[in-house]
């Protein structure tokens, strides 16, 4: 049993090496290939959609490449070759660019579609292992990775060929991404529900509408009692009262928890008559519009606080973000 287990593990590792080595080999083959840069330029200059197509396993790879393009700034859709020949060609426009994937370049459905695409004058990029194929003949640009052996023991199941196609598609997508100067922030804009999207969310996007219209604010020149009355005039949704100076800039904060402790622990009967400036937390931790929500999260974790004022570039409060807002964002992925 142990010997059989080792044999199976060795085979598993051999498959990985075979596929990895094939990608490295193709990288060397395509290093000086003008078709790669020509294809990338065509995708970059495309004013319509980059349309991916393929049949069978190549079609599945094409779907993934289309998704990668779309998420990195290049509008892209997948077009099934069979469905295309039965009505979905209406999705194809003259300013699109089509990328067709086929190892042999001779699949009937792909060849028929390529012929139609060519006749319509739509630019066609072929990704294939056969430069003499019918698909290559119809294509404007041919990214040919050459002959390769599949990792399947019988040499039948698409394995190495699909891995190579996928790697080529990823490389093209990232080439175009680089040409666009596509930034991490741009990428995050297309992934608002993902970890990266959360990382680049701005504080104003997660304030849960705690805008200035319902902020609990009061002047720091008032007494504590007066400040509480003033703050309660707002449509209060926050567990914190913000204090502002004569210029309207944030000068302090009192949370509901602070107030409870103050009333319980104070030996003074007239605590509500004390100047609020004497009992507020001065120079409170805060974030400014335009900062990332991840920075607010760092404040919550570091200082064990639940409420964080948000100020504008002049230091005037415009909202409050609390730990529940951050927790809500962090559960978007389920």
pLDDT digits (tens, 9 = 90+) for 55-98: 999 999 999 999 999 999 999 999 999 999 898 988 899 999 99
pTM: 0.67
Please state the rounded mean pLDDT for residues 3-10. Answer: 74
Percentage of the chain beyond pLDDT 90 is 55
Q: Answer whether residue 294 is part of any domain.
A: yes
pLDDT of residue 264: 78
* pLDDT at 198 exceeding the cut of 70: no
Give yes or no for a contact between 109 and 136, defined as CB atoms under 8 angstroms apart: no
Identify whether residues 132 and 63 lie together within a single domain. yes
pLDDT interval class at 268 (50, 70, 90): low
Give yes or no for a contact between 291 and 321, defined as CB atoms under 8 angstroms apart: no
Please state the rounded mean pLDDT for residues 240-254. Answer: 92
Identify whether residues 166 and 32 lie together within a single domain. yes
Rounded distance between C-alpha atoms, residue 308 and residue 287, angstroms: 7
Identify whether residues 178 and 232 lie together within a single domain. no
Q: Answer whether residue 194 is part of any domain.
A: no
Identify whether residues 36 and 153 lie together within a single domain. yes
316: domain CATH number?
Answer: 3.10.580.10
Number of domains in the chain: 2
pLDDT of residue 206: 78
Task: Between 33 and 140, name the one with better pLDDT.
Answer: 140
Rounded distance between C-alpha atoms, residue 225 and residue 127, angstroms: 74
Rounded distance between C-alpha atoms, residue 63 and residue 52, angstroms: 7
Q: Answer whether residue 187 is part of any domain.
A: no
Residue 172: domain span: 2-182
pLDDT of residue 267: 64
Rounded distance between C-alpha atoms, residue 166 and residue 261, angstroms: 61
């Amino acid at each position: 049993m142990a010997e059989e287990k080792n044999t199976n593990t060795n085979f598993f590792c051999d498959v990985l090496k075979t596929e990895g080595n094939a990608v490295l080999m193709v990288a060397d083959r395509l290093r000086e290939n003008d078709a790669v840069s020509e294809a990338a330029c065509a995708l970059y200059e495309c004013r319509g959609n980059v349309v991916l197509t393929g049949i069978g396993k190549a079609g599945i790879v094409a779907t993934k490449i289309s998704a990668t393009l779309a998420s990195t700034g290049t509008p892209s859709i997948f077009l099934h070759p069979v469905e295309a020949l039965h009505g979905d060609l209406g999705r194809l426009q003259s300013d699109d660019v089509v990328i067709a994937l086929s190892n042999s370049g001779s699949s009937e459905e792909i060849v028929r579609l390529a012929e139609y695409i060519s006749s319509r004058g739509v630019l066609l990029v072929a990704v294939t292992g056969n430069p003499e194929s019918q698909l290559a003949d119809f294509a404007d640009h041919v990214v040919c990775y050459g002959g390769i052996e599949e990792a399947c023991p019988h040499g039948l199941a698409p394995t190495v060929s699909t891995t190579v196609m996928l790697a080529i598609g990823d490389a093209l997508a990232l080439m175009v991404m680089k040409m666009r100067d596509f930034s991490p922030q741009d990428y995050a804009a297309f992934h608002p529900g993902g970890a990266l999207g959360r990382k680049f969310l701005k504080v104003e996007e997660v304030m849960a509408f705690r805008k200035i219209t319902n902020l609990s604010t009061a002047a720091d020149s008032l007494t504590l009692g007066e400040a509480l009355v003033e703050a309660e005039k707002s449509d209060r949704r926050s567990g914190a009262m913000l204090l502002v100076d004569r210029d309207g800039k944030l000068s302090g904060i009192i949370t509901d928890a602070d107030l409870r402790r103050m009333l319980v622990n104070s030996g003074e009967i007239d605590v509500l008559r004390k100047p609020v400036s004497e009992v507020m937390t001065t120079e409170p931790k805060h974030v400014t519009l335009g900062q990332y929500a991840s920075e607010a999260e760092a404040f919550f974790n570091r200082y064990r606080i639940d409420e964080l004022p948000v100020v504008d570039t002049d230091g005037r409060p415009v909202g409050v973000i609390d730990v529940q807002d951050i927790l809500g964002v962090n559960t978007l992925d389920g």
